[in-house]
Amino acid sequence: MKAKIYIKYKEGILDPQGTVTNKALKSIDIKGIESIGIGKYIEMEFDKNISKDDAKKIAEESCKKMLANPNTETYSYIIED
């Protein structure tokens, strides 16, 4: 059982890393991108005995209590077998 967790900045929060990355892409002639937002992608592998419901609870609690900054970030996740 595995969770794939996606964390990104909330709308309206400045993302300087994304802005600079877009500039860097333009500088090597990759064009057509309006904006880039850079967040975290976390793969969480669970112990063998963990059920799908448990996995959901653990992923939710991990995001809420540690992985995402509630002031500036939003998170979502999917659970996979």
Spatial distance between the Cα atoms of 22 and 54, rounded to a whole number of angstroms: 39
Q: Least distance in Å: CB of 70 to a second copy?
A: 15
Asked if residues 67 and 5 have their Cβ atoms less than 8 Å apart, the reply is yes
> Is residue 81 close enough to count as binding a second copy by CB under 8 A?
no
> Is residue 11 close enough to count as binding a second copy by CB under 8 A?
no
CA 74 to chain CA centroid, Å, is 8
Tokens read off for 40: 């975290």
- Per-residue binding string, a second copy, 29-68, x by CB under 8 A, is -xxxxxxxxxxxxxxxxxxxxx---xx--x--xx--xxx-
Instruction: Give the residues lining the site for a second copy (CB under 8 A).
Output: 6-8, 18, 21, 24-25, 28, 30-50, 54-55, 58, 61-62, 65-67
